Chain A
Amino acid sequence: MSLTLIQESAKEVRRLSIAGSPLAVGDFRLKKLVAPLEQAGAKAPVFGQVAKSIGELVNGNEAESAARLLHLSTLLNAILYTQGQTTAEGESRELEIFATNCSSTRTPARVLKPLIQALTTSGGGRFEVIKSAFERGAFNDLRLIGPSVQALDDNFPELADLIADKILPGFGAGIIPRLKETFDLKGKKSDGRKLKLMHQLDPAGTLPLCKTALEDGAVDVKVAAIECLGRHEDCLPLVQEQANAKNKVVRAAALEALAGYDRPEIAKLFTDLIKGKALDILAQPFRAIKNRQVVQSLIDEGQRAFLLLQNGDEEQIPRFLEILDCLVKRPEAEEFSLGCFNQGDKLAKLKAPKNSHVTGADVMIRLASQLYGIGSARALEAIVAKRDELATAGFSLALRSALRIWSPEKVFEVFSPLLDQKKGVSKEKSEELQRYIVGTQWDETSRFHLMAHLEPDGDSEPGLKKVVWDPRWLDAAVKNDHQAVVCSLARPGHKAALDYLLKQDDGKKFSDAGFVLRALIRCEYPKVTDYFLKIVTKKTKGAKHFDYELQFLFENARHLPKTDLPRLDEFASKLDEKFVDKFLEALAPLRTPASA
């Protein structure tokens, strides 16, 4: 069958159906096809039918043109549907095999579909869906590879990182061709992620691609390539070339990749850079640098800047801070930092330079922070010694240093007078002190922590969680009516504290019920369950929502005596239906044999 004539006719019909059927009447292009179709019709009657149908359309009237055009179109499509090409030319080859670590396809649609939707669409709430699915092992399905690769381009970086760091590596090197399909050298951060992932799955195989990316890639891709190439010692010269790149981000990435190697040429590179202006990009690489000479050069540069500061040149403040940034957590810099801190009286008085708000006093706090990070006895002693001279923002450092080197008694004697301060800087320090006490006493067995926002920042040292407070702190807190501190330090047998806690619900506004309850539990107050039920009754009466207060109160129910469970269950039957579910959930830990 000569398809050309049919295809030609279908093309004209398509054109006319777009333009409008009246134009088909007398259409010369269609008319031209009638004769050859009639000729072909002698061999295959279907051509004759098409020719007849075209004839009726072009020679008919406009009123009937629509029905006739549709009739012709239906006929042509019916023919074309029988002529679809199904085969392919060429020699047969085997299908490439990209073995992955999973071959299961047994996840039901109800589980798989929402997951694919979360991976391939935008909008809120998707991260949790994906994270929880990953945690319960739902990603062990071949059909999730494609959507996961697509999710590397997600606008929400945390989601894309989760996919790149945790989920996709689990599928194995078989996914590399999928990653390559959508990898764009001139792309964005998502392409950088793809390159790093490919390199992680197949370091040797991806090396040529990394080299190409280094040459021709966009900034984000180049940065990823540098990170990958930095892991191959033989590729260091390539990375080193990028240390002089015009783009600051590329330069920083190259320096970071090089910092881990202790080689003379790399040491020279860093030593030269210290003298230059772009010190800000060195902070991160310097944390990995091993060469002592380089560190010494930086310290020397720091000394030089400090001398200028001592001479009243406040314009040196930004540079001095950049140097301190580079020396974070470097024990070799202790002597330098200590020297600057101890001789910092003039520095503390310097004003902020132009276009900056950082004063000399802020630099002193920064030095104190650096010394606290080093954590040696003499560093801590130096901070404590300057506790009255440091600005309020540095008070926390002085307190923490004191806690690490002094006895509890001495800490109490020196710092407790602050508790009754009600005005000015002393009040601020008092509040900081209270926050600190509460933070160190937080009981981790409670999942929900109402005072979490009060926890001191950056307090990751495990030692501080074990702080022992002098017993007199509790008396001082009761005396000065510091509820949070009393709740934190309350202990069994302290009558004044118990009386104080039981009075707390007298006021009309009592918002820390959960915190007080936890303190009463710690005090081993025998009627704690009665107290709990009284407060729950009070709080739920007329309450419209399950708010944070109730949530915290219920969270603490797990610490109630297990023997009171029947009473608690009985109470549940009377509780407002809105809160019953949460209440029963809160009691669940009491039902398990392991709970106290």
Chain B
Amino acid sequence: MQIDEAFADSQAPNASAIQNARGVVIKRKLVGMFRSADGSLLFGECKGSGKDNYQPSADFADPAKPVYRCTCPSRQFPCKHSLALLYAFAQGAKFSEKEVPTEIGEKRAKIQQRVEKKKDDAEKPHKVNTGALKKKIQTQLEGIALLETLLNDLVRAGLGTLNAKSARQVEEQAKQLGNAFLPGAQSALNALTGLFYRSQISSEDELKASERERIYSAALDQLNRLHSLCKQGRKYLQTRLEDPELKPETETDIAAWLGHAWQLRELKDAGLVQTNVELLQLAFNAYDDWTRREFVETGAWLNLQTGAVQLTRNYRPYHAAKFIREDDSCFHVMICPELCVYPGNLNPRVRWEAGEARPVNKTDHLRGREHAKTDLKAVIKDVKTQLKSPLGDRHPLALVRYRTLGRAGDQTVIADQNGERLVLADDQHPGEPATLPLLSMLPPVVHQEQAMLVRFHHDLDAQTLRAKPLSIVTESEVIRLTY
């Protein structure tokens, strides 16, 4: 296990934890630093505000799933004391060899027991409390009926009557959807109402007439999505009500739309697991989704085995944001023994329980480029197929191989080997900078025969489908244009 400062940074829950942990090292608060004979455990004692010293440790018994423990009362994991151990180790501090403390030995044994129990449980058939499930589905169906009423009221009154105040009133009503086990539907409705005011904390949040004019098409599109959600959701729930033993649907992402939080076990049961996968991150973005009241970190990864562009999403609700690890850009290849893939469209969400990072090498870039789609026409067709589905992701990503990157008229375009062009343009994705101006500043080598990760966006008013460049994969590097 290679523990360097970059690794320690990657384990920190947020930027301030890094700063605090480094502070612990500088202030010489680590009063004892030890390592086990096999090097799988770092532990020590650290001065803190309590009467007794804290006892942080970093356990690499399973290198893919390091465990950090500490006797301090912090709710952040790892806490600054455990992180400080990593920084001290990375900075070359002397760790004397010592036997693994009994308490840690016991905890390791308990983990082992849990792993085995988990294995046993996995083999046992999962029991479903059908009575409770039926009741839940019934409540969800009532929620769907409520959503439908809300939508019909909105459309009857007309979007022209919706303003900041009434949008917030609709949101208040939408809280009932959350109570009806439909958090996904609630978020989708908030995404509609959120278009009609500036932000949740602004006092002057009413939109100007010109601004309202620009959002109507997007609002109508969101209404359509909600309308389809009602229709498809009701059908799905009714089928499940008739047969509660039925597993959540994996062909479409309707379950997620309704707010189903997929358990890794469910994904495994549904066969949505890929083994021994290597992932190369091509792009990353973090933004504040105030309509969901969550911070969202999204990573776009290239599956080096299948060539699919898959997404990781880390949701950190405002109220718990401090205690959930904040994702960051990853410049390593992640090796995942088991990769769970969510049901979805072109770019399904993925998750892994245990993963190990290794440095990126030239072969990875070459493998990545080989996976890039060479036929733009086919890519665009797939994208349009996804877009025409009302519940399809409106911003699909694709890694495409281009022959040239240049200009046509006053547009920036890429062209494939057949001469098919795709116009590149920036979009209004939250929390992300414009990338088009960067293209002219890149070395000339990127202007020909490279692979580009793009994100599509359809402008309903202009009737154009454009792609925003997110990164370029050359033979030697991934040039990130966002984060």
Q: Which residues of B sit under 8 angstroms from A177, Cβ to Cβ?
A: 440
In the complex, the answer to whether B441 meets A142 with C-beta atoms within 8 Å is yes
In the complex, the answer to whether B223 meets A17 with C-beta atoms within 8 Å is yes
Select the stretch in B111-119, B255-263, B404-412 that faces chain A: B404-412
In the complex, the answer to whether A87 meets B422 with C-beta atoms within 8 Å is yes
Q: A520-560: which have CB < 8 Å to B?
A: none
Q: Is A293 an interface residue (CB 8 A)?
A: no
Determine the residue in chain A with the shortest Cβ distance to B439.
A95
In the complex, the answer to whether A92 meets B407 with C-beta atoms within 8 Å is yes
Select the stretch in A329-337, A341-349, A577-585 that faces chain B: A577-585
Q: Give min CB distance, B290 to chain A, whole Å.
A: 16
Q: Give min CB distance, B213 to chain A, whole Å.
A: 9
Q: Which residues of A sit under 8 angstroms from B154, Cβ to Cβ?
A: 66
Q: Is A145 an interface residue (CB 8 A)?
A: yes
Determine the distance from Cα of A65 to Cα of B28 in the docked complex, in whole angstroms.
72
Select the stretch in A72-80, A245-253, A463-471 that faces chain B: A72-80
Q: Give min CB distance, A186 to chain B, whole Å.
A: 23
- Size of the A side of the interface (Cβ < 8 Å), in residues, is 70
Q: Which residues of B sit under 8 angstroms from A16, Cβ to Cβ?
A: 158
Query: Which residue in B224, B408, B441 is a CB contact (below 8 Å) of A90?
Result: B408
Select the stretch in A109-117, A259-267, A377-385 that faces chain B: A109-117
Q: Which residues of A sit under 8 angstroms from B464, Cβ to Cβ?
A: 84-86
Q: Which residues of B sit under 8 angstroms from A178, Cβ to Cβ?
A: 437
Query: Which residue in B23, B49, B406 is a CB contact (below 8 Å) of A577?
Result: B49
In the complex, the answer to whether A145 meets B441 with C-beta atoms within 8 Å is yes
Determine the distance from Cα of A577 to Cα of B49 in the docked complex, in whole angstroms.
6
In the complex, the answer to whether B390 meets A77 with C-beta atoms within 8 Å is yes
Query: Which residue in A80, A97, A100 is a CB contact (below 8 Å) of B460?
Result: A80
In the complex, the answer to whether B151 meets A70 with C-beta atoms within 8 Å is yes
0/1 interface trace, chain B 445-465, chain A, CB 8 Å (1 if under) = 001000000000011100111
Determine the residue in chain B with the shortest Cβ distance to A102.
B441
Q: A96-154: which have CB < 8 Å to B?
A: 96-100, 103, 105-106, 108-110, 112-114, 116, 142-143, 145-147
Q: Is A570 an interface residue (CB 8 A)?
A: no
Query: Which residue in B409, B412, B423 is a CB contact (below 8 Å) of A95?
Result: B412
Select the stretch in B123-131, B270-278, B323-331 that faces chain A: B323-331
Chain B interface size band reads 35 or more
Number of A-B residue pairs at CB separation under 8 A: 202
Q: Which residues of A sit under 8 angstroms from B223, Cβ to Cβ?
A: 17, 70, 73
In the complex, the answer to whether A78 meets B388 with C-beta atoms within 8 Å is yes
Determine the distance from Cα of A44 to Cα of B437 in the docked complex, in whole angstroms.
42
Query: Which residue in B27, B328, B384 is a CB contact (below 8 Å) of A110?
Result: B328
In the complex, the answer to whether A88 meets B442 with C-beta atoms within 8 Å is no
Q: Is A453 an interface residue (CB 8 A)?
A: no
Q: Is the interface of A mostly helix, strand, loop or mixed?
A: helix
In the complex, the answer to whether A584 meets B331 with C-beta atoms within 8 Å is no
In the complex, the answer to whether A98 meets B380 with C-beta atoms within 8 Å is no
Q: Is A506 an interface residue (CB 8 A)?
A: no
Q: Is A174 an interface residue (CB 8 A)?
A: yes
Q: What would 16 A/B residue contacts be, using CB atoms closer than 8 Å?
A: A13-B220, A17-B216, A17-B220, A18-B158, A66-B152, A73-B227, A74-B224, A77-B390, A84-B387, A86-B467, A92-B415, A97-B444, A143-B480, A146-B434, A581-B27, A584-B27
Q: Give the A-binding residues of B (Cβ under 8 A).
A: 9, 14-15, 23, 26-29, 47, 49, 148, 151-161, 216-217, 220-221, 223-224, 227-228, 284-286, 326, 328-329, 331, 380, 384-385, 387-390, 404-409, 411-413, 415, 420-423, 431, 433-434, 437-444, 447, 458-460, 463-467, 479-483
Q: Give the B-binding residues of A (Cβ under 8 A).
A: 3, 7, 13-14, 16-22, 62, 65-67, 69-71, 73-74, 77-100, 103, 105-106, 108-110, 112-114, 116, 142-143, 145-147, 174-175, 177-178, 181, 577, 580-581, 584-585, 588
New contact pairs (12) apart from A106-B480, A108-B9, A109-B483, CB-CB < 8 Å: A66-B152, A70-B155, A74-B227, A84-B458, A91-B408, A103-B442, A105-B480, A109-B284, A113-B483, A143-B480, A147-B433, A577-B49
